[in-house]
Amino acid sequence: MKKISLTKYTDFIVEKTCELLNIDSPTGYTEEAAAWVEKEFAALGFETKRTNKGGVIVDLTGGDKDNGLLLEAHTDTLGAMVSTIKGNGRLKLTNLGGMNPNNAETENVRVVTKFDGIYEGTFQLANASIHVNGEYNDTKRTWDSCEVVLDEDVKNADDTRKLGISVGDIVCFEPCVRVTKSGYIKSRFLDDKLSVGILLGLAKYISDKKIRPSRALYAHITVFEEVGHGGSGSVPEGCTEAISVDMGCVGDGLGCSEKQVSICAKDSGGPYSYPVVEGLVAAAKKSGADYAIDVYPHYGSDVEATLRSGSDLRHGLIGAGVYASHGYERSHRDGAENTLRLLIAYAL
């Protein structure tokens, strides 16, 4: 297969990814992001349907309805929730998903109240002035030792409650989106908003080229992936295969870089379907996609939740390489393009 130019679509992926990254959507607070997803796929001419859980199913058209392929990516991210209003008016948090306080210290946050708007603050170590706190360097960063310092004149818990802040309010961490001249994409929550951007790029390619895939093709933009049940249920009738399009891991002992597409052979949930892995590798070779095959030691995906919910499917996992997962993450436009290239070769 001649290697096709995808620059136009990679530019589109980066643009849409950045838009989505700037929409707060920690697990449990995804309505605005889901509405954006519906709007963007509809603008490309595709029918969407909101699930009861809050995800979005997209019909990317196609032929054989008895051998459908489902592509899954998630728009929910890590975040936190107010668990206690402290006596000094500051907020103790509990994590949503795998948010790690070591990776969040000194980050700006937004506290989303249920009825009284949004307040800004900073996630800090308690007693954060190093000139005052002699134990600053030795204190382990935990959800108990860190707090949100509100950017409001509060001196006690009653002051904070009067703002309308209460236990159960969502706390969103600033993504800090940046795209460098050299093509690197840096932000919190590339996992998995970059993959949502990639599936939008695939949809634009299908729309522009007026392609009708030989088998039914769907996308499920899930929510609640970060807490393990995003891909449970909502599989369109007739699907026989599902592929999670999530981040590819980059780190010691793995072959993938941020410029490649990773094909996962096994993660903490066990091996992926061998025929699917074989097919993905063959498609990568045929299309000229730069790829790596890896085993992820600490990872679980949407498609595994789909299987655990009772679906009878072949399953796979791919994604653009992402470094510093669940922290301040980094990928590259080449990784997005190679993932798109593989999807075009495999799904269309």
Phi, psi (degrees; rounded to nearest 5) at 284 = -60, -45
**7-21 and 190-209 helices cross at what angle (nearest 10)?**
140
Contact 179, 17 (CB under 8 A): no
CA-wise closest residue to 86 among 142, 151, 165 = 165
Angle at Cα 173 formed by Cα 170 and Cα 174, nearest 5°? 140
Q: What is the DSSP letter of 26?
A: B
**333-347 and 190-209 helices cross at what angle (nearest 10)?**
50
Both tokens of 254, joined, read: 């793995």
Contact 42, 218 (CB under 8 A): no
Q: Which residue out of 40, 72, 147, 225 is catalytically annotated?
A: 225
CA atoms within a 13 Å half-sphere pointing along the CA-CB vector of 223? 21
Q: What is the DSSP letter of 74?
A: E
Contact 92, 86 (CB under 8 A): yes
**Sign of the C-alpha dihedral, residues 228, 234, 240, 243?**
negative
Task: Clarify whether 225 is annotated catalytic.
Answer: yes
Both tokens of 136, joined, read: 């600053």
**E-state strands within 52-192:** 56-59, 64-74, 79-85, 91-96, 108-112, 118-125, 146-150, 170-173, 178-179, 184-187
Contact 259, 341 (CB under 8 A): no
Integer Cα distance of 165 and 113 in angstroms:
6
Contact 107, 123 (CB under 8 A): yes
Which amino acid is present at 137? N
Which amino acid is present at 323? Y
> Which residues are tagged catalytic?
225
